[in-house]
Structure 1
Amino acid sequence: MIGRLMAMTAHSGKGSELAAVLLRVAERLHGFPGCEIYLISQDAADPDTVHVTEVWQDESSAQAALAASSSADGPNPADVLALLSSPPHRTDLTVLGGVGLPTADGQP
């Protein structure tokens, strides 16, 4: 499994709008093959900073979701980028396990 932590800073006063767009993305990913977690959080101290925590079965699943978002109805990457005051910060992870993730036998 792979993971990503994304930190995004919206233009001043646009954090809730950014979070709403990302929640729409998350809704569209519900049940998407290979998507284990797509969690949207807003920084309690700075509401213009929004975090996305992602867990995918593999890189190809993450790439397939990105490709699908460009062609599907609803928000696309350009909608998110238009709300940002600076480029997103991305941290790539190797996911080892934890609460809420399936085990090797597919059970949570």
Structure 2
Amino acid sequence: MIGRLMTMTAHAGRGGELAAVLLRVAERLHGFPGCEIYLISQDTADPDTVHVTEVWRDDASAQAALATPSPANGPAPEDVLALLSTAPHRTDLTVLGGVSLPTGDQP
């Protein structure tokens, strides 16, 4: 499994709007093959900062999700990018296990 932590900073006062768009992305990923976790969180101390915690079965699953066209009723990647005041920060992870994750050949 692989993981990603995405930190996104919205334009001032638009963190709630960013979180709402990302929650719509999460809805679309519900049941997507290989998507184990797609969690949206808003920073308590700075509501314009939104975090996305992702866990994927493998990199191919994550890439397939990115390559899937957005539905006509959105949201599209441009909708997220338009709300950001800076480029998102991405941290790549090797997932070792945890609560509610499938078991398998992980250490």
Shorter-normalised TM range: over 0.9
CA RMSD for the aligned pairs? Answer: 1.1
Show CA shifts across 1:62-96 (max 9, x none).
Answer: 0111111x342321111100000000000000000
Gap regions ≥5 residues in structure 2? none
- Deviating 4+ runs (over 4 angstroms): none
Once residues 50 and 81 of structure 1 are traced to their aligned partners in structure 2, the CA distance between those partners, rounded to angstroms, is 13
How many correspondences in the alignment? 104
Once residues 14 and 71 of structure 1 are traced to their aligned partners in structure 2, the CA distance between those partners, rounded to angstroms, is 22
Show CA shifts across 1:31-73 (max 9, x none).
Answer: 00000000000000000000000000011100111111x3423
Gap regions ≥5 residues in structure 1? none
Amino-acid identity (%): 83
TM-score, scaled to structure 1? 0.93
Once residues 33 and 77 of structure 2 are traced to their aligned partners in structure 1, the CA distance between those partners, rounded to angstroms, is 19
Show CA shifts across 1:10-49 (max 9, x none).
Answer: 0000000000000000000000000000000000000000
Amino acid at match of 2:85: S
